[in-house]
Structure 1
Amino acid sequence: MSYPTPIVFVVDDDISVRESLEMLIRCEGWESETFASAEEFLNRPRALAPSCLILDVSLPELNGLDLQKRIAVDRKDMPIIFITGYGDVPTTVKAMKAGAVEFLTKPFDDTTLLNAIRHSIERSHIMLRRETETGTLRDCYASLTPREREVLALVVCGLPNKQVGAELGISEITVKAHRGKVMQKMQAESLPDLVKIATRLRLTPAHKV
């Protein structure tokens, strides 16, 4: 799946910083969107493209660390690069523990920032691809009948067809038929493949061997 041109978001209340970063980013061929406050950025809908956020720690009202917390759940595919005029160890540690990919103190080297952006965009692309793949698997799982879901849950626990039939009160032949449908609908080529899919979807085992 191909994605639109990567977007690098910049949130900094200093207009000179926003303008210089926007120019640097666009020269590298990426899109750039700048915001003067965290609130302004939050009003921007999630971008369905590889992206990253260059975020100033010290912002009016909602600061950078608070914004990081706000977007941690619904924008996991957007890595954050923190920038600050005066960094301190506790703040840096807090930001990095919360998932930031880089913490740069102004003035920083352009090459260091660009390398961080490249790494972040690559990471974002991988996360978006995984999200798309997981969405496809969820659609496949949604197409299963209730009985097929029961069979899947028992099969991925390692139960043989005969035991699955005993658990569900159906014949071994019927189990084989359901199992074949499960493999087909889930696009699984083998049992290990099906187990990986179930793990990825975090399906709760119905039975433990």
Structure 2
Amino acid sequence: MADGSDRVFLVEDDESVRKSLARLFRSVGLAVESFASAGEFLVRGRYDGVGCILLDVRMPELDGMGLQARLLEQACDLPIVFLTGHGDIPMSVRAIKKGAFDFLTKPVDEDVLLGTVRQALVQHRADRAVRLELEALRMRLDMLTPREQEVLRGVITGALNKQIAASLDIAEKTVKIHRGRVMQKIGASNLVELVQICQQLGIEPSLDMKPSGSESSGS
């Protein structure tokens, strides 16, 4: 089912096709913005909600493949569904390799088109949720002081508090305080969750601290 915020960006130079497709999407509750050219779409500016682009390949000036390239340069994450009456296998392969969600050839069955667009919206919503979660986690990470970040890297290495204290030349009770603040600021309830969050953010363990149980047994 479509969410009220879902939006289809229809980029099609044929006015009759553009109006017909816009009516189709609106009939199933999807918001539509229509553009007669790739240039018009680029002027619109960035969209941060859930959406997808239905893009005609053959257009004057900047064509669909060219618009796809521009959007990749701009790091636009909206999924693209190509729609063309002149598509061929090599062209569709190139489009998919560059990240297009799908490539449909006119005339396309309405149910197939709607199903493909809905799938693209579902995928974008899921990808966007992951991206927003990572952004929130990075904001929490930025709240840590430099010392707390050092302690964090020691903790996810598996080092004991006393090992982290020795490596950073601070008191063990100070490490405990920093460790508690790290857990609170990051929003982790236990060590496993903290490690998983750090893996998501690409934070590497500290190589300067030995993990628990790795201390030399020699005298």
TM-score by length of 1: 0.92
Return 5+ residue gaps in structure 2 as ranges.
Answer: 211-219
Percent pairwise identity: 45
Alpha carbons of structure 1 residues 157 and 66: separation in structure 2 relative to 1, 3 Å: farther
Partner SS state of residue 144, structure 1: coil
- Root-mean-square deviation (CA, aligned residues, Å) is 1.6
Deviation at 1:157, TM superposition (A): 2.2
Distance 2:108 2:93 in 1: 19
Alpha carbons of structure 1 residues 69 and 157: separation in structure 2 relative to 1, 3 Å: farther
Deviation at 1:171, TM superposition (A): 2.1
Alpha carbons of structure 1 residues 44 and 206: separation in structure 2 relative to 1, 3 Å: farther
Deviation at 1:66, TM superposition (A): 1.9
Deviation at 1:141, TM superposition (A): 1.0
- The residue that corresponds to 2:109 in the other structure is 109
Q: Deviations over 1:187-206 (max 9, x none)?
A: 00111211121122222443
Partner SS state of residue 170, structure 1: coil
Distance 1:166 1:17 in 2: 71
Would you say the 8 A contact 2:50–2:121 is kept in 1? yes
Alpha carbons of structure 1 residues 53 and 114: separation in structure 2 relative to 1, 3 Å: same
- The residue that corresponds to 2:60 in the other structure is 60
Would you say the 8 A contact 1:11–1:37 is kept in 2? yes
Q: How many residues align?
A: 206
- The residue that corresponds to 1:144 in the other structure is 144
Structure of higher CA gyration radius: 2
| 2:75 pairs with 1:74 | yes
Partner SS state of residue 150, structure 2: helix
Whichever residue aligns with residue 136 of structure 2, its letter is T
TM-score by length of 2: 0.88
Whichever residue aligns with residue 39 of structure 2, its letter is E
- The residue that corresponds to 2:38 in the other structure is 38
Q: More displaced, 28-37 or 63-72?
A: 63-72
Distance 2:107 2:85 in 1: 7
Counterparts of 1:117-128 in structure 2 under 5 Å? 117-128=117-128
Q: More displaced, 159-168 or 117-126?
A: 159-168
- Deviant stretches of 4+, over 3 Å: none
Whichever residue aligns with residue 67 of structure 1, its letter is L
Return 5+ residue gaps in structure 1 as ranges.
Answer: none
Q: More displaced, 28-37 or 58-67?
A: 58-67
Distance 2:188 2:146 in 1: 18
